Structure 1
Amino acid sequence: MWVFDERSLNSYCLLQCNGLSHSSVKTIHYALRYLITVTDGRISREILIDLCRKIWDDPNHSVSHKNKLHIYISNFIRYLAQELDDPALENLLRYFKKPRSVLEIKMMTTRIIVVEDIKRAIENINNTSSLSDSQKLRYSTFLLFLAYTGQRPMTTERFTVGQFKQALSQNPLVLKVLASQDKIRMEHLVPLHPELVPYLKRVIEKKKDEERVFNLNSLQMWFKRNPQSMIHTKGKLNAMDLRKFFEQKSDELGFADANKNFIMSHGVSSINWTSYKQFLPENVYKRYMDCWGSVEILNLNSPISH
């Protein structure tokens, strides 16, 4: 049997949580608190089997939440095994597996987002009388940027005025995302769609280079106060759905190669990616525009003006 205490949990949190989003840090803390509460700081084959059963039999949590618990607890056990230099501890994870019934569920996403959903949300933003003109422009540009690039909202919130100024001043129009800004710490390139350009120019106008362009919390508050229905999905639209839209629309447009994954910073953790893949701005932009060039979400030639 192996034992761990609060110090082990705190050390792991310091190592893993630095730079992560608030929601990810909160979930990791919850998972570790759940682990020490259920196991009383002890790990054995029998305890892991019982812990796994408790997680997946809990009717109060979604499959997504259970999956995150499972992943974060597994990662902590691997970390502990390395710290103790004890491979036998990591080998116990063979008894901490998802139930077969969960592994066999292969469902298509239940959230389908289409251009009309985004267009209607932007129209509603611009019809919200409580918003100032500058807020309407920022929110609309934020949604358009997410839809046209597939970036994570939390990553996009970290972009500065200076980054956009640099991207808009070069040819091709490609934004460079720093590793420190990305969830998985991967530096990558993001082509800027022609429809985005006038919106971005207006939203960064007269701002200092070090200022951030977008505020995710502010946009989420608008969604909370103004729920946006979707055509093909019963739920309400949120900022995270725009990444799904980009992936779904890319599949429709035939943009399903390595360039798309590189732009999204998604599915790029293999040795093949980290050691061999190379992307030039001109090639990424050309491939993106070959597929996305004809897409016009708002079908406008100039930014929203009031």
Structure 2
Amino acid sequence: MTCGLRVIAFSKIDIEQYLGQKCYAVSKKSFNWINKILTDFYQFSHGILEKGKLIEYAQYLFKKYPSYSTRHKHFVYVRNFIKNLAQARDEHQISSLLVYFEMPKVRREIKLLTSRIITQEDVKNALLAIEKSSLPELTKQNYHCAIMFLAYSGQRVITACRITAEQFQEALNQTPPVLIVRADQDKIKLAHHVPLHPELISSLNKVLDGKTSSDCVFSYEGLKQWFSRHPINLTHTKGNLQLKDLRKFFEQRSDELGFMDSNKNFIMSHGCSSVGWTSYKQFLPENVYKSYMQYWGSVKIV
């Protein structure tokens, strides 16, 4: 019972309708996350919304998930589902239950700086390991080019793996060579310019040879699995090099070079969601390239 009133039930159909109405525009990864969380909530509650069930579910989340981020996702998506259910049924009684399912405030560990230091030597070691491996020659070329592109551009791995051969070829045909990443390929939906470093050109031309315009150039899963099977120790930090570390390398190396203006953030699609960015800033590809080359032009990873 809920507050002495009737039992409020929901079904898998309610979840499906919510996903169809509210989550159709999110990425496949986010959609799967939300679906998994709501399915978990349904199985735990047996499709019943009441004070006791919500309190028990909150306690269950804290026991099962030590990660703050994972717990936070569960609270956000379940609360959004309950709010939507209340609106769809026009029942205040449902939304009044949210007071029993709130994310408790906890003191989180404050980290002033990342503990992972990624150096040019780490990137070189990865490239050397691939060169010495028994991989087919074409695979070596692709992995080598992928690592170089990530290190020289600071792109997110998932973004890099969505870029097509046509986009790279169009960039190479321009002067200066600047890649345009589409909004639908970016995590924060920001279309942005990515200068192609001169050290990348030869490697890119080899990898693009034989690909059709719609082919994605890099294979994220293959390279990720190779890194997993052939761990590369970091030189200044405990642990092994991961693909996502190459974005950290670009950020940290840019700081060393003095490349810290808005052009760097625009290239990385990082910290660009404020009103100041979305309403006032604009970048010409030739200016982004000029600023980038001023600092990164002399950098030779290999």
Structures share fold, TM-score greater than 0.5: yes
Identity %: 43
Tell me the CA shift for residue 205 of structure 1: 1.9
Whole-angstrom CA distance in 1 between matches of 2:189 and 2:225: 27
Report what 2:132 is aligned to.
127
The alpha-carbon deviation at position 98 of structure 1 amounts to 4.7
Cα shift at 1:140: 0.7
SS of 2:193's partner is strand
* Partner residue in 2 for 1:16: 23
Aligned with 1:5 (options 11, 26, 32): 11
Q: Give yes or no for contact 1:81–1:90 (8 Å, CA) kept in 2.
A: no
**Residue by residue, what CA displacement relative to the aligned partner does 1:269-305 show, whole Å, maximum 9, x if unpaired?**
233322222111112112222222232211xxxxxxx
8 Å Cα contact 1:176/1:187 also seen in 2: yes
Q: Equivalents in 1 of 2:83, 2:259: separation in Å?
A: 36
Deviation at 1:124, TM superposition (A): 0.3
- Which residue number corresponds to residue 171 of structure 1? 175
Determine the structure 2 residue equivalent to 1:96.
102
In the TM superposition, 1:73-152 aligns within 5 A as 73-76=78-81, 89=95, 92=98, 96-102=102-108, 105-107=109-111, 108-129=113-134, 131-152=135-156
1:238 to 2:229 alignment: no
Structure 1 alignment gaps of length 5 or more: 299-306
1:159-192: CA deviations, max 9, x gaps?
Answer: 1111111101112211001122222222111111
Q: Is the 8 A contact 1:253 1:292 kept in 2?
A: yes
Match status 1:186 vs 2:209 = no
| RMSD over equivalenced CA pairs, Å | 3.0
Q: Confirm or deny that 1:263 pairs with 2:270.
A: no
Q: CA offsets per residue over residues 36-75 of structure 1, 9 Å max, x none?
A: 33444456777656544443344x5434433443444455
Cα shift at 1:258 = 2.4
Shift of 1:33: 2.4
Q: TM-score, normalised by structure 2?
A: 0.82
SS state at 1:198 partner: helix
Aligned mates of 2:245, 2:139 — CA distance in 1: 20
Displacement of 1:261 in angstroms is: 2.3
Say if 1:195 and 1:296, in contact at 8 Å, map to a contact too.
Answer: yes
TM-score of the superposed pair, with normalisation by structure 1? 0.81
Secondary structure in structure 1 of the residue aligned to 2:240: coil
Is 2:157 the counterpart of 1:153? Answer: yes
Work out the CA distance in 1 between the residues paired with 2:96 and 2:288.
40
Distance in 2 between residues matched to 1:200 and 1:113, nearest whole Å? 24
The alpha-carbon deviation at position 141 of structure 1 amounts to 0.5
